[in-house]
């Protein structure tokens, strides 16, 4: 959608004849139609928004109140003024409620102002979200296995998996670390299965930057134990539509030359029942004896989008609200695109860390943040008063947060927090920071030092600013 | 102003236009309006730096708009070219105070950019902002009285008279919870009928969840989304009513004074049939909005854009500040609010926070003693939740201060979205002292 050219009408002289030809009138007709829609020009902007779960305690679980909204530029570019005072009730269907379907638990909904011949109103609609699909969670051990590009016999490695849902695959988290110093990248493709091996045709392609990953060594990556990890995340710029109950392959290949000292290790741990692993020696795929760790990230969004009730033809997204386990609205306030959680329960809760050493996980940030892209003020609380280092990395870049402890915070999209006394118990210390979530993936790293029991941490987002 | 969607006459090829002069003029007007609004959301701006004048000799009187990317005027037209314009408190009219305003002490002003399309001429003007005055306050306390804890007290009410006429935007009440009530508390303002509340709310405050009201008595702010306009020296009632049944073990009580020290009102309770006098007065504060005249555009000017807030000090001079876009940073020294208790303290900060909804940033300091301090801040109206120990409940923020020498206000506590220039503070650790400052306010409207 683009701005139409500004039309300068003929100067009208009172009392004179119109002197307009039919052609000219048609130009005016067309131009007025275009300018009345696209004036305002950058769709889905707004100004003067104060919105919140209803301030009356007896309505807060059901209703959102748009306290003020000076202007909304609808999706066709038209500016509509003053949506102030409009309420949205989750128990209502259509205008002033949920656009379609039934309200569900623990999901994000987008709030939209809507407009049409029926006037002004607002609705909530199920928001985009990513879900984890097939996965094989493994431990990235101290001794790397499953080299990719460490020898001619392992030019590529692949893992097949059974995709269960007919949805686009947006990303993969892979249990990988680096060995040595890499300067090249890792290419990850999704391929169909042909006679029990990868087809050789990429359905989706993404690249990872292992130079930013943690090194698999005792000094920096002590992981003796049964902890599980998802590992590094690769995002596919163009998602592949995968068929349900169909086998596909994840194929990993370094972009540089074979290097026996510097390569990527994709952990191999047996136990995935619905697939197998193989290596490529330059001419053929050869079965290997174990399985590689991975997690699918599926996009639930393509079918979503506001369903406009009868009498409404335009919309403008205003923000997000989440439902709790009872499908009640979780309390929030919003000022333009900045939103605050007003509750403690939106967090990655009771993350169980280790009593000693370090460990990491990647988790779905959808638990405490609406669909990205957004920036969020993230912090942590120590629910059981242990003594703990704590790091969080955001999005696909966040895996870099798992590097050595002295890595400068600014090097990656992360925050570091140290909870250094027992008074941290259940009290948020607020020493977090802003993180940028381009994907709804958070990488969590803990280092339980000194005294204390098993670290039981909570990751919370106090507020966020959404961009899209 | 908003765009009007214009449906043009359907043109049938080969027929006459059938346009009258008036119709063509309508088309012409509509297109001119649309052309102005293209590209803009009225009364927005970007790249703005506004401040008290950097020259010390001018700072008492003048504000300067140092930079602007663009302003979208009230008619939607985008304009730049405002850099280095000034507004002077000592001037009346263009470049100074509008005709409805005067130079006063401790007063908030709005700054507006104004435009005369015919000139064309651009300039600045100041107008007094709407503010709230604490019109009535009665805080003498030696006890409390339950709301709905007894069949004889199903409702409580306190009458009052204001000295100013205007909208009663919010009230503060001194409340405490006994037990664990699970129902709601409604606060209304009612007229007086024969010495009793009329029974018809003139305004209803946001409904309170009694389960969230603290067990140590404290002030709570109740905001009226649609305020009632009260007439000076006229009796009104604040009425408290619980939504549930009478419960002698679980209820909210209203702080009272047995000496009945409030001179222009009295307290009553409702037994289900009649209002009965209580031999005490309730603790309350009533705030009246001093609604200033709307911006008066000087002759010839036809569009405006609000670009900032500024406040005068006790000497009617500008309080020093710098504002970037809507973020307003005061450059003054204030005492802050000290607290050594986890019981929430309701603060009204009319010095640092403009009289409009704001995102306010807070900093805090310790007191130099070897004590953990946990300064915390909550917004109005949600921050009345005095039960939860966790700061983020109700949108609060909190900072841990441990070092002995942490006496400087250097610790960032966080940002909250608050209204009425108010907020709640506490020291959640119950330490021996922390001081909290509001240091920056992003005004929203």
Kindly provide the ipTM of the predicted complex, given to two decimals.
0.85
The minimum CA-CA distance between A22 and chain B, rounded to whole Å, is: 6
* Rg, chain A, Cα only: 26
Distances (CA, A) of A189 to A148, A186, A199, B284: 14, 10, 11, 68
pLDDT band at A76 (very low <50, low <70, confident <90, very high): confident
- Give the mean model confidence (pLDDT) for residues A89-94: 97
The minimum CA-CA distance between A65 and chain B, rounded to whole Å, is: 11
Given a contact cutoff of 8 angstroms between Cβ atoms, the answer to whether A299 and A371 are in contact is: no
Structure tokens at A27: 């130009």
Count Cβ–Cβ pairs < 8 Å, chain A vs chain B.
Answer: 195
Distances (CA, A) of B257 to B146, B184, B345, B435: 14, 25, 20, 30
A45:B398 CB<8 A: no
Q: What is the pLDDT of residue A421?
A: 45
B11:A40 CB<8 A: no
Which residues 1-30 on chain A approach chain B with CB closer than 8 angstroms? 3, 6-10, 12, 14-16, 18, 20, 22, 25-26, 28-29
Which of A84, A333, A377, A434 has the highest number of chain B CBs within 10 A, making it the mutation to test binding with B?
A333
Which of B43-47, B170-174, B223-227, B343-347 has the least mean pLDDT?
B43-47
The yes-or-no verdict on residue A358 having pLDDT over 80 is: no
Q: What is the pLDDT of residue A113?
A: 97
pLDDT band at B85 (very low <50, low <70, confident <90, very high): very high
pLDDT band at A341 (very low <50, low <70, confident <90, very high): confident
Structure tokens at A382: 């120590």
- Give the mean model confidence (pLDDT) for residues A304-310: 89
Torsion, Cα B346 B352 B357 B360, to 10 degrees, reads: -80
CA angle B139, B142, B144 (to 5 degrees): 90
B34:A429 CB<8 A: no
pLDDT band at A413 (very low <50, low <70, confident <90, very high): low
The yes-or-no verdict on residue B229 having pLDDT over 90 is: yes
Query: Global pTM?
Result: 0.84
- Give the mean model confidence (pLDDT) for residues B49-62: 96
pLDDT band at A92 (very low <50, low <70, confident <90, very high): very high
- Closest to B209 (Cα-Cα) out of B175, B178, B184: B184
Q: What is the pLDDT of residue B370?
A: 61
Give the burial string for B356-395 (b: 16+ CB within 10 Å, else e).
bbbbbbbbbbbbeeebbbbbbbbbbbbbbbbeeebbbbbb
Residues of A in contact with B428 (CB under 8 A): 427
Give the burial string for A399-427 (b: 16+ CB within 10 Å, else e).
bbbbbeeebeeeebbbbbbebbeebbeeb
The minimum CA-CA distance between B109 and chain A, rounded to whole Å, is: 19
Q: What is the pLDDT of residue B23?
A: 55
pLDDT band at B1 (very low <50, low <70, confident <90, very high): very low
Residues of A in contact with B442 (CB under 8 A): 335
**Which candidate from B6, B225, B442 shows the least CB-CB separation from A32?**
B6
B400:A431 CB<8 A: yes
Q: What is the pLDDT of residue A39?
A: 44
Q: What is the pLDDT of residue A390?
A: 64
Nearest-Cα residue of chain A relative to residue B14 = A22
Q: What is the pLDDT of residue B378?
A: 94
Residues of A in contact with B9 (CB under 8 A): 25, 29
Rounded to whole angstroms, how far apart are CA atoms A432 and B297? Answer: 47
The minimum CA-CA distance between A107 and chain B, rounded to whole Å, is: 20
The minimum CA-CA distance between A340 and chain B, rounded to whole Å, is: 7
Rounded to whole angstroms, how far apart are CA atoms B44 and A72? Answer: 12
Which of A224-233, B35-44, B67-76 has the least mean pLDDT?
A224-233
- Higher-pLDDT residue of B193, A404: B193
Rounded to whole angstroms, how far apart are CA atoms A143 and A216? Answer: 7
A57:B209 CB<8 A: yes
Residues of A in contact with B357 (CB under 8 A): 50, 335
Residue matched to tokens 């009052």: B160
Residues of B in contact with A428 (CB under 8 A): 390-392, 398
Q: What is the pLDDT of residue A384?
A: 54
Q: What is the pLDDT of residue A222?
A: 35
pLDDT band at B294 (very low <50, low <70, confident <90, very high): confident
* Rg, chain B, Cα only: 26
Residues of A in contact with B2 (CB under 8 A): 71, 79-82
Between B21-37 and A22-38, two packed helices, what is the crossing angle to 10 degrees? 40
B392:A462 CB<8 A: yes
The yes-or-no verdict on residue A357 having pLDDT over 70 is: no
Q: What is the pLDDT of residue A425?
A: 40
The minimum CA-CA distance between A305 and chain B, rounded to whole Å, is: 25
Which of A123-137, A346-360, A370-384 has the least mean pLDDT?
A346-360
The minimum CA-CA distance between A263 and chain B, rounded to whole Å, is: 43
The yes-or-no verdict on residue B128 having pLDDT over 50 is: yes
Residues of B in contact with A41 (CB under 8 A): 38-40
pLDDT band at A310 (very low <50, low <70, confident <90, very high): very high
The yes-or-no verdict on residue A48 having pLDDT over 50 is: yes
pLDDT digit string (tens) for A234-244?
Answer: 889 898 999 99
- Give the mean model confidence (pLDDT) for residues A436-457: 62
3-state secondary structure (DSSP) of residue A26: helix
Asked if A349 is an interface residue toward chain B (Cβ–Cβ < 8 A), one would say no
The yes-or-no verdict on residue A257 having pLDDT over 90 is: yes
**Which candidate from A29, A40, A344 shows the least CB-CB separation from B393?**
A344
**Which candidate from B8, B388, B428 shows the least CB-CB separation from A28?**
B8
The yes-or-no verdict on residue A5 having pLDDT over 90 is: no
Nearest-Cα residue of chain A relative to residue B242 = A58
The minimum CA-CA distance between A342 and chain B, rounded to whole Å, is: 4
- Give the mean model confidence (pLDDT) for residues B332-356: 93
- Higher-pLDDT residue of A269, B204: B204
Residues of B in contact with A23 (CB under 8 A): none
Q: What is the mean pLDDT of chain A?
A: 78
Q: What is the pLDDT of residue A416?
A: 61
Given a contact cutoff of 8 angstroms between Cβ atoms, the answer to whether B321 and B331 are in contact is: yes
Q: What is the pLDDT of residue A129?
A: 82
Structure tokens at B275: 């209002």
Highest mean pLDDT among A415-424, B191-200, B356-365: B191-200
Q: What is the mean pLDDT of chain B?
A: 89
DSSP label at residue B106:
S
B19:A36 CB<8 A: no
The yes-or-no verdict on residue A205 having pLDDT over 80 is: yes
Q: What is the pLDDT of residue A426?
A: 41
The yes-or-no verdict on residue A385 having pLDDT over 70 is: no
Q: What share of chain B is helix, strand, coil (3-state, %, to 5)?
A: 5, 45, 45
pLDDT band at A224 (very low <50, low <70, confident <90, very high): very low
| Contacts of the segment A25-33: beta carbons below 8 A, 24+ positions apart | A25/B9, A25/B11, A25/B17, A25/B19, A26/B11, A28/B8, A28/B27, A28/B31, A29/B8, A29/B9, A29/B11, A31/A4, A31/A7, A31/B31, A32/B6, A32/B8, A32/B27, A32/B30, A32/B31, A32/B34, A33/B8
pLDDT band at A6 (very low <50, low <70, confident <90, very high): very low
Structure tokens at A186: 């890792």
pLDDT band at B27 (very low <50, low <70, confident <90, very high): low
A40:B41 CB<8 A: yes
Which of A71-75, A102-106, A450-454, B18-22 has the least mean pLDDT?
A450-454
pLDDT band at A394 (very low <50, low <70, confident <90, very high): confident
Query: What are the DSSP calls for A355-409, one per residue?
Result: SSSEEEEEEEGGGTS-SSSEEEEEEEEETT---EEEEEEETGGGGGGGS-TTS-G
3-state SS, B376-424, equals EEEECCHHHCCCCCCCCHHHCEECCECCCCCCCCCEEEEEEEECCCEEE
Query: What are the DSSP calls for B42-72, one per residue?
Result: TTEEES-EEEE-SSTTTTTTEEEEEE-SEEE
The yes-or-no verdict on residue A449 having pLDDT over 60 is: no
Given a contact cutoff of 8 angstroms between Cβ atoms, the answer to whether A298 and A131 are in contact is: yes
């Amino acid at each position: 959608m683009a701005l139409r050219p500004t039309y300068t009408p003929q100067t009208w002289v009172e009392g004179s004849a119109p002197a307009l030809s039919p052609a000219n009138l048609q130009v005016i007709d067309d131009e007025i139609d275009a300018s009345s829609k696209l004036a305002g020009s950058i769709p889905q902007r707004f100004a003067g928004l104060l919105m919140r779960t209803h301030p009356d305690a007896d309505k807060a679980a059901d209703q959102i109140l748009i306290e003020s909204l000076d202007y909304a530029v609808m999706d066709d570019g038209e500016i509509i003024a003053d949506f102030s005072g409009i309420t949205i009730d989750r128990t209502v269907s259509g205008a002033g409620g949920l656009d379609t379907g039934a309200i569900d638990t623990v999901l994000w909904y987008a709030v939209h102002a809507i407009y049409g011949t029926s006037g002004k109103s607002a609705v909530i609609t199920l928001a985009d979200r990513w879900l984890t699909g097939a996965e094989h969670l493994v431990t990235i051990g101290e001794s790397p296995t499953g080299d990719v590009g460490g020898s001619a016999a392992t030019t590529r490695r692949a893992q097949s998996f059974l995709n269960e849902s007919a949805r686009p695959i947006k990303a993969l988290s892979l249990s990988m670390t680096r060995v040595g110093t890499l300067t090249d990248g890792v290419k990850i493709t999704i391929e169909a299965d042909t006679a029990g091996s990868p087809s050789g045709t990429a359905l989706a392609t993404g690249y990872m930057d292992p130079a930013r990953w943690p090194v698999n060594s005792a000094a920096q990556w002590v992981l003796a134990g049964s902890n599980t990890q998802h590992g590094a995340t690769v995002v596919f710029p163009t998602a592949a539509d995968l068929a349900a109950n169909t086998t596909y392959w994840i194929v990993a290949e370094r972009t540089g030359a074979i290097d026996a000292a510097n390569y990527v290790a994709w952990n191999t741990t047996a136990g995935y029942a619905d697939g197998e692993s193989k290596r490529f020696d330059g001419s053929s795929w050869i079965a290997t004896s174990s399985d590689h760790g991975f997690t699918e990230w599926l996009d639930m969004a393509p079918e979503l989008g506001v369903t406009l009730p009868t009498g409404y033809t335009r919309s403008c997204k205003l923000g997000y609200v989440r439902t709790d386990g009872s499908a009640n609205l979780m309390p929030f306030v919003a000022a333009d695109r900045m939103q605050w959680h007003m509750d403690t329960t939106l967090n990655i809760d009771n993350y169980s860390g280790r009593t000693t050493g370090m460990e990491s996980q990647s988790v779905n940030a959808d638990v405490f943040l609406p669909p990205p892209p957004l920036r969020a003020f993230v912090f942590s609380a120590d629910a059981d008063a242990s003594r703990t280092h704590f790091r969080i990395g955001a999005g696909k870049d966040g895996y870099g947060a798992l590097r050595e402890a002295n890595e400068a915070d600014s090097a990656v999209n992360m925050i570091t927090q140290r909870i250094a006394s027992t008074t941290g118990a259940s009290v948020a210390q607020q020493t977090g920071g802003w993180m940028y979530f381009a994907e709804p993936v958070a990488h969590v790293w803990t280092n339980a030092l000194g005294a204390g029991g098993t670290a039981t941490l909570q990751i919370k987002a106090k507020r966020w600013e959404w961009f899209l | 102003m908003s765009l009007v969607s214009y449906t043009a006459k359907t043109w049938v090829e080969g027929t006459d236009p059938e346009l009258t002069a008036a119709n063509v003029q309508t088309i012409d007007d509509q297109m001119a309006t649309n052309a102005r609004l293209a590209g803009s959301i009225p009364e927005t701006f970007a790249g703005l730096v506004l401040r008290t004048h950097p020259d010390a000799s001018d700072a008492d009187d003048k504000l300067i708009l140092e930079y602007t990317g663009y302003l979208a005027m009230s008619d939607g037209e985008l304009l730049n070219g405002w850099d280095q314009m000034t507004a002077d408190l000592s001037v009346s009219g263009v470049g100074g105070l509008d005709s409805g305003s005067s130079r006063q002490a401790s007063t908030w002003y709005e700054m507006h950019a104004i435009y005369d399309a015919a000139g064309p001429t651009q300039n600045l003007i100041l107008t007094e902002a709407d503010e709230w005055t604490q019109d009535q306050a009665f805080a003498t306390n030696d006890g409390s009285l339950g709301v709905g804890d007894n069949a004889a007290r199903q409702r409580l009410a306190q009458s009052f008279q204001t000295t100013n006429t205007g909208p009663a935007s919010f009230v503060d009440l001194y409340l405490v919870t006994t037990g664990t009530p699970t129902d709601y508390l409604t606060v209304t303002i009612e007229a007086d009928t024969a010495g009793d509340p009329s029974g018809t709310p003139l305004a209803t405050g946001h409904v309170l969840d009694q389960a969230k009201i603290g067990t140590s008595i404290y002030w709570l702010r109740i905001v009226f989304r649609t305020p009632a306009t009260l007439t000076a020296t006229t009796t009104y009632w604040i009425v408290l009513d619980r939504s549930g049944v009478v419960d002698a073990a679980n209820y909210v009580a209203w702080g009272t004074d047995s000496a009945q020290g409030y001179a222009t009102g009295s307290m009553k309770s409702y037994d289900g049939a009649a209002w009965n006098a209580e031999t005490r007065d309730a603790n309350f504060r009533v705030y009246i909005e001093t609604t200033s005249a709307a911006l008066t555009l000087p002759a010839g000017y036809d569009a405006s854009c609000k670009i900032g807030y500024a406040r005068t000090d006790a000497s009617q001079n500008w309080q020093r500040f710098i504002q970037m876009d809507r973020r307003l940073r005061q450059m003054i020294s204030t005492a802050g609010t000290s607290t050594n208790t986890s019981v929430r303290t309701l603060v009204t900060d009319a010095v640092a926070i403009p009289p409009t909804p704001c995102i306010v940033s807070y900093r805090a300091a310790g007191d130099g003693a070897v004590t953990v301090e946990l300064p915390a801040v909550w917004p109005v109206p949600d921050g009345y939740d005095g039960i939860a120990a966790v700061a983020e409940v109700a949108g609060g923020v909190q900072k841990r201060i441990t070092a002995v020498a942490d006496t400087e206000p250097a610790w960032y506590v966080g940002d909250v979205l608050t209204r009425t220039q108010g907020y709640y503070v506490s020291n959640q650790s119950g330490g021996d002292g922390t001081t909290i400052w509001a240091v920056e306010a992003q005004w929203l409207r």
